Structure 1
Amino acid sequence: MTPIHVIGIGLTGGSGLQSHLHMLIDQATVLVGSERHLQYFPSHPGKRITLTNFAQGLEAIQQHLDQSPNPLVVVITSGDPLFFGFGRLLLQTFAADLLCFHPYLSSVQIAFNRLKVPWQDAEVISVHGRSLSSLVTAWQKGVRKIAVLTDHKNTPAAIAKLFLSLNLPIHYEFWVCENLEGSDERVQKFEPKTLLNQQFSALNVVVLLRYDLEKREKSDLASLPVLGLPDQAFYSFADRPGLMTKREIRILALAELQLQDHQIIWDIGSGTGSVAIETARIVPSSQVYAVEKTALGTQLIHQNCQHFQVNNVHIVLGEAPTALNNLPDPHRIFIGGSGGHLQEILNYCQMRLDLSGVIVVSLATLENFYIATQWFDKPNWVVEHLQIQLSRSVPVASMTRLTPLNPVMLIRASRNPN
């Protein structure tokens, strides 16, 4: 017989196990588990090893294997032992042919079934004694379904606080699933702000379900700032939240444009329209042309214009520079995306830009930065370069660290009056 059997259980304890697993437990020469797990089997006659220290526990198991003529070690663990469980450590310590695994339902399986949500496409992240960086990455990618295994520091409240601190242009329902299958099981839905001061049982899993656009609640326009609209106030590409010009970068770009009243402004590669809409709010007497090559992008710009109640943004579907042909000559041009046609766009903008006009180009790659700097290296342009490397503070348990945004280069160019 295989000497080590690893049996997963739930909060129902031994009552949720099949009869052959009960037989294995009854025959065990040593029973291993946490204090909570061992309490499910108070009358077991064999030796007990309480897992308060994993290294010591593994050493005690090895000693029993070495000293007992017919050892049968049964390790009791939660759920599926090979799903962020003790099974991985056992496989690192003992040969695989010494181990046999008997999984129970994992907390993640139970949680999604309680929510009646298919979960084959979910991303499961453990922050139990781990960094929160994987969770941040999943949010930045806009993953639709996320299950988070928590601990006493990375609690539902700490996770909600971290999410809010990132100011991402996406929204999630937060489901906290406590004591699954226990008599005191609770499954509750929260908005992240309402989670900040909540406390829960230590046995919980958090399920995050990304909002669809139609489920978004509209922002209170009266509470929004005059400059620096928060990213999360915009409708955005839920699966590509990183494509929006971030609030901090947007503020700097708008300052570099040196906006004035009664101007014609082109926003090329408008994306979600964040720059165009913020421009339209700052100078309502100006006319802003948001040029976007994708139909999905123009739909989002239209939704955002309605959301922010701006009526001086004109949405242009098409690829620059061809899409610029029928627009009035601009006083200001912002280029946030070029679709691989940066040089052609700059050639065209040079012909159409007002003599006192300004171009601001936002660049995220070194290749495009090189193309732009080479293009503007002419005596008829006055050029300034701005390299932007910003970090935002994020909570880490009871402390705070800085997480960097992607670096961006801004080029501001105006015609040389000489």
Structure 2
Amino acid sequence: MTPIQVVGVGLDGAAGLAPMVLSIIQQAQILAGSDRLLQQFPDHPAQRWTLKDLPQRLQQHVAQPDPALVVVLTSGDPLFFGLGRQLLQVIAPEWLTFHPHVSSVQLAFSRAKLPWQDATVVSAHGRSLDRLAAAVKKGISPIAVLTDPENTPTAIARWLQSLGLPTHYRLWVCENLGGADEQVRQFALSEVPSGVWSGLNVVILQRCDAPPELSRIPLLGIPDAVFLSFRDRPGLMTKRAVRVQILAELALQPHQVIWDIGAGTGSVSVEIARLVPTGQVWAIECTTAGAELIRQNAARFQTPNLQVITGSAPTVLTDLPAPDRIFIGGSHGQLTAILTHCCGQLRDAGVIVIAFATLENQAELAQWQRDHPDWTVTYQQLALTRSVAVGSFTRWDPLNPVILATLQRSAGGQ
């Protein structure tokens, strides 16, 4: 038997340990651990060591000839955000044996009755929420979060709401797992209460796609989180603030025909279809997955005047009715060809709005304009910054800049 036996203990104490592990504890000549865990064995005759400088003390202990048996009591699984990592930093593995208890995360998923083979675990215990931010912005699910007195369930819920995510999450708070006062509760993010939480808690975040209450959706500026989005790229959509500016530049009127080229998730198309219910909206998307997502969003927002065309522009534009307005959100390297085709189809007094994020696309448009002097182009750059919660404070979080170009025929142009 190795001289250091590291035993994981749950909130049920000695009663939750296997007979073999209890036998090892009974043989211990030294018991080490927190006061709470040492109190689980009040009648044990062994010498007792506290956690203060324990790794260094054990390092000195195993350097002695024939060291006495030490049992280190720790919470849950010692190699899961536990004491085990600290011990392995100063003590050779051959001196250590680990006896893990069920971890708090495993218990949390069990109590919430959620499979967790694909779960992401994030520790917010004494750490920033940067890793959690990266996970939720990708729409990862489920996520287990180990909290601390600052990053409480309430603070995490408020922070998630401040991010303006394109993904909905529901939240479980699992407190005192394995103990007599265990409590597991599920909340919508907006319903997580304030107040005092047990210091021993785990938060689980699970992605959910709740259907929108259309009566509560604003006529202009649908929140990003209400749209269905790509599972692997939930942030890939035209953001609400940018979308509203695009709609303003299009200067929509009743009964118009509108093309949305490179429609992505269909967020712009849906907004247009709701604003102009008497119009015809054609969403053109080159990917089958994207086209299906647009159809789902069209059904979700009850916009029967939105039609989806699968294929690459400008080839698939040939048989569409002549447009009054065109929005180009994606061109897949065909911006010049798309513009040339669109300008030949656009009705009098028509407007084209283009959104792009690269200097190369801006340069391509500038070259196209030089070749087509009968068109005017006005530019604006949208550099938006949103507030996000950081604990009890608030900071600015910038979005990637977006360039909008608005094209119209010059006065007297053909």
Same fold per TM (> 0.5)?
A: yes
Q: Is 2:386–2:397's contact at 8 Å kept on the other side of the alignment?
A: yes
- Bigger mean CA deviation after superposition, 237-246 or 337-346: 337-346
Distance 2:228 2:130 in 1: 25
How far off its partner does 1:231 sit?
Answer: 0.9
Cα distance in 2 for partners of 1:89, 1:373 equals 59
Which residue is 1:39 aligned to?
Answer: 39
Measure the CA separation in 1 of the matches of 2:68 and 2:212. Answer: 64
Q: Deviations over 1:384-406 (max 9, x none)?
A: 33333323222122111222323
Runs of 4 or more consecutive aligned structure 1 residues displaced over 6 Å after TM superposition? none
Instruction: Identify the match of residue 72 of structure 1 among 60, 69, 73.
Output: 69
1:154 — aligned with what? 151
The answer to whether residue 395 in structure 2 is matched with residue 401 in structure 1 is yes
Counterpart of 2:188 in structure 1: which amino acid?
Answer: E
2:138 maps to which of 141, 146, 158: 141
Q: For residues 280 and 217 of structure 1, do their structure 2 counterparts lie closer, same or farther at Cα, with a shift above 3 Å needed? A: closer
TM-superposed deviation, 1:285: 4.1
Q: Answer yes or no: is the 8 Å Cα contact 2:62–2:95 preserved in 1.
A: no
Q: In the alignment, which residue of structure 1 is the partner of 2:200?
A: 203
* TM-score, normalising length: structure 2: 0.89
Q: Deviations over 1:261-296 (max 9, x none)?
A: 443221111122211121233344433221123344
- Compare 28-37 and 368-377 and name the one that shifted more: 368-377
Once the two structures are superposed, the pairs formed by residues 289-304 of structure 1 within 5 Å of their partners are: 289-304=282-297
Residues paired across the two proteins, number: 411
The answer to whether the 8 A contact 1:160-1:196 is kept is: no
Runs of 5+ in structure 2 lacking a partner? none
The CA deviation at 1:376 is 3.6
Are 1:25 and 2:25 matched, yes or no? yes
Maintained 8 Å contact 2:159/2:391: no
Aligned-pair distance for 1:246? 0.9
Q: Which residue of 2 aligns with 1:185?
A: 182
Q: Which amino acid aligns with 2:187?
A: F
Q: 1:185 to 1:338 in 2, by over 3 A?
A: same
Q: Identity over the aligned pairs, expressed in percent?
A: 54
Q: 1:358: which partner in 2?
A: 351
Map 1:1-400 → 2, pairs under 5 A: 1-51=1-51, 56-65=53-62, 70-197=67-194, 199-211=196-208, 213=209, 216-219=210-213, 221-378=214-371, 379-400=373-394
SS in 1 for 2:269: helix
For 2:359 and 2:145, the matched residues in 1 are separated by 36
For 1:47 and 1:373, how far apart are their aligned partners in 2? Answer: 81
Asked if structure 2 preserves the Cα contact closer than 8 Å seen for 1:158 and 1:196, the reply is: no
Q: 1:86 to 1:373 in 2, by over 3 A?
A: farther
Amino acid aligned to 1:273: G
Distance 1:166 1:10 in 2: 35
Q: What TM-score do you get using the length of structure 1 for normalisation?
A: 0.88
Q: Aligned equivalents of 2:407 and 2:319: distance in 1?
A: 23
Deviates more, 1:361-370 or 1:96-105: 361-370
Retained in 2: the 8 A contact 1:294–1:317?
A: yes
Change (3 A) 1:250 1:66: same
Q: Distance in 1 between matches of 2:263 and 2:332?
A: 11
SS of 1:172's partner is: strand
Displacement of 1:83 in angstroms is: 1.4
| Residue type at the aligned position of 2:120 | E
How large is the Cα RMSD of the aligned pairs?
2.5
Could you tell me which runs of 5 or more consecutive residues in structure 1 were left unpaired when the two chains were aligned.
none
Moved more, 323-332 or 334-343: 334-343
CA deviations over 1:70-112 (Å, ceiling 9, x no partner): 2433222222111122212222232333322221111122222
Q: CA deviation at 1:65?
A: 4.5
